[in-house]
Chains A and B, each alone.
Chain A
Amino acid sequence: MITLANISKTFNAGRQNEFTAVKGINLSIAMNTITVLKGPSGSGKTTLLSIIGCMARPTAGRITVQEREITSLPERFLTEIRRNTFGFVFQNFNLIKGVTALENVMFPAFPAGLRHAELQERAMRLLEKLKIASKARQNVESLSGGEQQRTAIARALINEPAVIIADEPTAHLDTELSGEFMDTMAGLHAEGKTILIASHDPLMAESENTHRVIELRDGQIIGEH
């Protein structure tokens, strides 16, 4: 279970351009579910995902991930949780340009100190699973949007996380590729993963695979179904 208690996040506190992206959110997300955070641009979806994924600290409130309170943990422990518990699929995928798909998939596991050959084997297995093994040695810029997306998913899975966080994963994809993405997520859910997606794409919220949709506006939850 991931629990958020009264979470707020204020940027540029005390300055003229101060703004609060997330305001006093209380939320519990069960493990092994697919949850979609829905809302217009600026509603606080990405900020909320960042906070859940230990990429940003909340200004107020507490977060518990699998019974562990993480809000007050020092940076080193947060990094460890981020690496071992969460896998990220970013908007625009944020793949590192100039290197191959295989290397991109391997990077998140570098600090773990696994044997290089073992790591490469693991990355290749993931690329095979996502049907992109033939493009493993190609630089990511030469891949199509769909291939880049699958590379990003493989990268999110390399450290075998329990939770996959995806921020606007279908923003630049057509309907077919968006459907493909959702099918992949459903497959991962079947393997026991928890999926958290922030998207204003109706395809995500309306997918039959989605278990829960949380609607956000102006940094607050305004509905749920």
Chain B
Amino acid sequence: MKWLERQRNFIDFTLSSLSRRKGKNAALMLVYTLLVFVISSVIFFTQAIRREAEALLTSAPDMILQRTVAGRHDLIPLSYGEKIKTIRGVKSVQGRLWGYYYHPAAHSNYTVMAADDVTSGDDTAAVGSGVARTWQTAGDNTLYMKAFDGKVLGLRIAKVFSDTTDLVAADLIVVSRATFGRLFGIAGTLATDLAMEIGNQKESATIALKIVQLYPDTRPILREEILRTYAAIFDWRSGYIIVLLSGTALAFIIFAWDKATGLSAEEKIEIGVLKALGWDTSDVLLMKFWEGTVISLTSFLLGVIAGYLHVFFASAPLFAHALKGWAILYPAFKLTPAVNAFQIGTLFFFTVVPYAIITIIPAWRMAITEPDAAMRQI
């Protein structure tokens, strides 16, 4: 009980001490909070977006097979799939049709995909919310597209995908296989690539090897490789933001170091007076420890909360363009909150702990001198 009262008294003193140097402490807390805010925003954002992408990609095919001609991706004959199906371990092979369409009126590039289950008919399309937002449909809810031969195709929008798939589907237009063929002039015997399902994931590498032996002009891509690529992209992007932040971090370090390591003449006398009045060295250190903790912990909590609100409530307007999406159109969607305790713990360890410690050092130097000397500033 006595211990608790002591702590309460010291915190009381600390708070009044902080309020006495309002300007300096407020400026420090502002920079500190800003730094934590930006770093935590990057952490929250990349974590949430990566989780979202991973969730979407789990439904991706186990393996994709592309054909290459002169090192470039080319259309693949569906007949390849017939032979590949006979390889032990391959459960299914599906020819996929996809490509890009540039719409001059919207100045945007869209991803067009063919699907087997378009039940609304060949004259319809299912689109991502980005398409619905940007394509100027002139009020009749129809996409007018120019085919490979110059003819115009009118496709009624039968469905708009939900926001949850926006990350990768914002710019997506899904049509029937027949419509896709009409639009791009691709024969029914060809596909953009082949999507495969494999019974046992451990056999993927062996199956890929057999396919390459069978068709040397193909390139198999495993799902794990896709996931790895996306992870690398996000790591690279968040690293890029953090590098940009290093200037702010450095400014903060210099500011904090100056504030924390140098005691003003007034503070020195104050420590001398407190010691003369019966405060022990450990009491002074405890008070300074609380001072450092109040500043750093408050800034940390404010920064993390502001970062959370910025990312999950405001959709990270400050740097979304640098971090978000690989769809051509920037998706507008709300991220599902995803917090990595380890990363937040690391941020805490590298911001709060060093600050709390460096504030103690100068106070300790001052506190171990005799109160008489501290008061006379000898």
Chosen A-B contacts, 19 in total, with CB atoms closer than 8 Å, are A57-B370, A76-B280, A79-B279, A82-B278, A83-B278, A88-B276, A94-B273, A97-B20, A98-B20, A107-B13, A108-B278, A110-B10, A110-B12, A110-B13, A110-B279, A111-B9, A113-B2, A116-B9, A119-B9
Q: Which residue of B lies closest to A114 (CB)?
A: B5
Cβ of B269 under 8 Å from chain A: yes
Do B16 and A56 touch across chains, with their CB atoms under 8 A apart? Answer: no
Q: Which 8 A-B pairs have the closest CB atoms?
A: A83-B278, A98-B20, A56-B372, A108-B277, A113-B2, A110-B9, A113-B6, A50-B372
Give Cα A57–Cα B273 distance, bound, in whole angstroms.
Answer: 17
Give Cα A94–Cα B375 distance, bound, in whole angstroms.
Answer: 9
Give the number of residues in A that approach B within 8 Å (Cβ atoms).
Answer: 35
Contact A79 B278, CB 8 Å, known A110-B9, A110-B13, A111-B283: yes
State which size class the interface on B falls in. Answer: 20 to 34
Q: Which residues of B contact A11 (CB under 8 A)?
A: 378
Give Cα A56–Cα B371 distance, bound, in whole angstroms.
Answer: 7
Do A55 and B5 touch across chains, with their CB atoms under 8 A apart? Answer: no
Do B280 and A111 touch across chains, with their CB atoms under 8 A apart? Answer: yes
Q: Which residue of A lies closest to B8 (CB)?
A: A116
Do B6 and A90 touch across chains, with their CB atoms under 8 A apart? Answer: no
Question: Could you tell me the distance in whole angstroms from the C-beta of B26 to the nearest C-beta in chain A?
Answer: 15
Question: Could you tell me the distance in whole angstroms from the C-beta of B283 to the nearest C-beta in chain A?
Answer: 5
Cβ of B3 under 8 Å from chain A: yes
Q: Which residues of A contact B12 (CB under 8 A)?
A: 110, 116
Do B6 and A111 touch across chains, with their CB atoms under 8 A apart? Answer: yes
Q: Which residues of A contact B5 (CB under 8 A)?
A: 113-116
Q: Which residues of B contact A82 (CB under 8 A)?
A: 276, 278, 371
Do B279 and A56 touch across chains, with their CB atoms under 8 A apart? Answer: no
One digit per residue, 1 when the CB lies within 8 angstroms of any chain B CB and 0 when it does not, for chain A 98-135 equals 11000100011111111110010000000000000000
Give Cα A106–Cα B52 distance, bound, in whole angstroms.
Answer: 56
Question: Could you tell me the distance in whole angstroms from the C-beta of A47 to the nearest C-beta in chain B?
Answer: 8
Give Cα A85–Cα B370 distance, bound, in whole angstroms.
Answer: 18
One digit per residue, 1 when the CB lies within 8 angstroms of any chain B CB and 0 when it does not, for chain A 59-78 equals 00000000000000001100
Residues in chain A within 8 A of chain B (CB atoms)? 11, 47, 50, 53, 55-57, 75-76, 79-80, 82-84, 88, 90, 94, 96-99, 103, 107-116, 119, 155, 159
Q: Which residue of A lies closest to B5 (CB)?
A: A113
Cβ of B274 under 8 Å from chain A: yes
Question: Could you tell me the distance in whole angstroms from the C-beta of B186 to the nearest C-beta in chain A?
Answer: 79
Give Cα A53–Cα B272 distance, bound, in whole angstroms.
Answer: 14
Cβ of B238 under 8 Å from chain A: no
Q: Which residues of B contact A83 (CB under 8 A)?
A: 277-279
- Most B CB contacts (10 A, CB to CB) among A55, A82, A116 go to A55
Do A79 and B280 touch across chains, with their CB atoms under 8 A apart? Answer: yes
Cβ of B373 under 8 Å from chain A: yes
Q: Which residues of A contact B280 (CB under 8 A)?
A: 75-76, 79, 111
Q: Which residue of B lies closest to A84 (CB)?
A: B278
Q: Which parts of B326-378 form the interface with A (CB within 8 Å)?
A: 370-373, 375, 378
Give Cα A57–Cα B372 distance, bound, in whole angstroms.
Answer: 9
Partner of A155, one of B8, B277, B375, B378: B277
Cβ of B270 under 8 Å from chain A: yes
Question: Could you tell me the distance in whole angstroms from the C-beta of A7 to the nearest C-beta in chain B?
Answer: 14
Partner of A96, one of B6, B19, B270: B270
Contact A113 B9, CB 8 Å, known A55-B370, A56-B372, A99-B20: yes
Do A96 and B283 touch across chains, with their CB atoms under 8 A apart? Answer: no
Q: Which residue of B lies closest to A119 (CB)?
A: B9
Q: Which residues of B contact A97 (CB under 8 A)?
A: 20, 266
Give Cα A130–Cα B274 distance, bound, in whole angstroms.
Answer: 22
Question: Could you tell me the distance in whole angstroms from the C-beta of B48 to the nearest C-beta in chain A?
Answer: 44
Q: Which residues of B contact A96 (CB under 8 A)?
A: 270, 273
Q: Which parts of B67-82 form the interface with A (CB within 8 Å)?
A: none
Q: Which residue of A lies closest to B373 (CB)?
A: A56
Q: 7 new A-B pairs (CB below 8 Å) besides A53-B276, A108-B278, A113-B6?
A: A56-B372, A98-B19, A99-B20, A111-B279, A113-B5, A114-B5, A116-B9
